[in-house]
Amino acid sequence: MNDSTQSILPTIDAHIYPRGGLDVLSRDEVARLRDASIGGMHELLRRCALAVLTSGSASDDPRAARELYPDFDIQVLQQDRGVRIDLVNAPAMAFVDGEIIRGVAELLFAVVRDLAYTAIELREDCNGSRDLSTSEGITDAVFGLLRNARILHPINPNLVVCWGGHSINRDEYLYTKQVGYELGLRGMDICTGCGPGAMKGPMKGATIAHAKQRHRRMRYIGITEPGIIAAESPNPIVNHLVIMPDIEKRLEAFVRMGHGIIVFPGGVGTAEEILYLLGILLREENADLPFPLILTGPAASAPYFEQIDKFLRLTLGEAATSRYEIIVNDPAKVSKRMAAGIRKVREHRIAGKDSFFFNWSLEIPLAFQQPFVPTHEAMAALDLHHGRKPHELAADLRRAFSGIVAGNVKEDGLRRIEEYGPFKIHGDADMMQSLDALLRAFVEQRRMKISGAYRPCYEVVA
């Protein structure tokens, strides 16, 4: 253990030898991961690695871990007999008696694996790269990333995606655990955004149920992206971590892999996810596609869902309500409805000869796939007005919430807000009033940040 005066907390130097899925890397992959120049991969690798080494952290400040461990570094080395990862001044919390915790090591290997794959397969100067200017090319890239992560398995549909906030109250957290428990009793696996709060609770509840049912091949999948993982370290229950290149590919991975989605109370990130999925499901091409979507929480969360429902009716129209169901304070009912919905998904996949592990038949337009960079100009230019097709309006509303997420917890977004002030969001008066009321409620209910006073990174302008 080092006693460096610059490090605030105890640290350890270690050599780690990956196994399973990261046995070898090419020289080009290693070189890119070690590239510390501007635009190189090393700083991104360092941030993501530090996030998993502080797995279980309650902070949602992307700069906090680096301030606690300013001297941390990671180097990936190619050796004759495989790969070696050198950790310098790594958080001691990731080790027991000098040995790295096995689950933490697996998450660390996943970071190296996914960043190496992205650096080579999705780089712009690679002649063999996928065409990321087309919808088909982006979907193929999402599939390639998930396949490389070895989480696509041709088993009966049983994967439930759980969305919800990282900053929720105790009652809401306990409720997510109870829902996860009911899902686990019925043989369901869990996929979340991998962080704390509503992303951890369902996994924690499912572990007890899986143990009771002697379920031995349980999957607790966490899907994140570089801008999020630094602020929301993976929770310790995740046993399959995937880092997608951006938020849009992360969202597509959720809906392509998941057989149904449960939404718990959350903040702007959760609202973004709801709008993303509804915008896709409201398209005519997906009208007959079964996709169970349930919004749920404890009794005290009923007003939260009433406000979400009101906002969706105002912006997307009454047709949107046919694609989701709201169930309050009944975990068993949620699980039963989800199980019934997934049975319909299975029947539809069989009839349409679609795979169980990746929903190829879901039509996702390019507008939902192209990365949105939330600059002040881009946020001000969003077209938030009535008269647009519901899925088109949903796409821009999703971008608005995505920008607020960036301003809340992503380092690039935080930097833009510090330099230029809050984002300005324009639109029709009634829509902006409803949006402002929703965002104010998120602030009052402390859904924006885990700790500390929240300073809005946005300004709603009618």
More confident residue, 8 or 264: 264
Are both 309 and 224 inside the same structural domain? Answer: yes
Closest-CA residue to 139 (of 283, 289, 48, 244): 244
Are both 90 and 148 inside the same structural domain? Answer: no
Are both 344 and 436 inside the same structural domain? Answer: no
For the stretch 203-220, pLDDT in tens is 999 999 999 999 988 999
CA angle, 85 as apex, 84 and 91 as ends, to 5°?
150
Tell whether 4 is covered by a domain.
no
The model's pTM: 0.91
Sorting pLDDT into bands at 50, 70 and 90, what band is 396?
very high
Q: Which helix (H) or strand (E) holds 189?
A: strand 189-192
* pLDDT of 462 over the 90 cut: no
Q: What is the CATH number of the domain that holds 125?
A: 3.30.1850.10
Could you tell me what percent of the chain has a pLDDT over 90? Answer: 68
Tell whether 48 is covered by a domain.
yes
User: How many domains is the chain built from?
Assistant: 3
Are both 350 and 378 inside the same structural domain? Answer: no
Which residues share a beta bridge with 192? 222
The residue out of 366, 391, 418 marking a domain boundary is: 366
* pLDDT of 21 over the 50 cut: yes
Are both 352 and 411 inside the same structural domain? Answer: no
Distance CA 398, CA 272 (A): 5
Greatest Cα pair distance, the chain, in angstroms, is: 65
Rg (alpha carbons) of the chain, rounded to whole number: 21
Are both 258 and 274 inside the same structural domain? Answer: yes
**Per-residue pLDDT at 58:** 63
Sorting pLDDT into bands at 50, 70 and 90, what band is 3?
very low
For the stretch 343-353, pLDDT in tens is 999 999 999 99
* pLDDT of 446 over the 90 cut: no
Sorting pLDDT into bands at 50, 70 and 90, what band is 400?
very high
Distance CA 88, CA 14 (A): 7
Are both 19 and 40 inside the same structural domain? Answer: yes
Per DSSP, the three-state class of 459 is: strand
Q: For residue 57, with 0-12 CB atoms within 10 Å meaning exposed, 13-18 middle and 19 or more buried, which class applies?
A: buried
Could you tell me what percent of the chain has a pLDDT over 70? Answer: 93
Closest-CA residue to 278 (of 345, 325, 245, 335): 325
Domain that holds residue 36: 11-129
The residue out of 106, 129, 152 marking a domain boundary is: 129
Are both 171 and 278 inside the same structural domain? Answer: yes
**Per-residue pLDDT at 164:** 95
Are both 409 and 316 inside the same structural domain? Answer: no
Sorting pLDDT into bands at 50, 70 and 90, what band is 22?
low
**Per-residue pLDDT at 122:** 75
* pLDDT of 6 over the 50 cut: no
* pLDDT of 68 over the 90 cut: no
Are both 388 and 346 inside the same structural domain? Answer: no
Are both 394 and 351 inside the same structural domain? Answer: no
For the stretch 219-239, pLDDT in tens is 999 999 988 887 788 999 999
Sorting pLDDT into bands at 50, 70 and 90, what band is 124?
low
Are both 231 and 167 inside the same structural domain? Answer: yes
For the stretch 362-395, pLDDT in tens is 999 999 999 999 999 999 999 999 999 999 999 9
For the stretch 404-414, pLDDT in tens is 988 887 888 88
Sorting pLDDT into bands at 50, 70 and 90, what band is 67?
confident
For the stretch 155-203, pLDDT in tens is 899 999 999 998 899 999 999 999 999 999 999 999 999 999 999 999 9
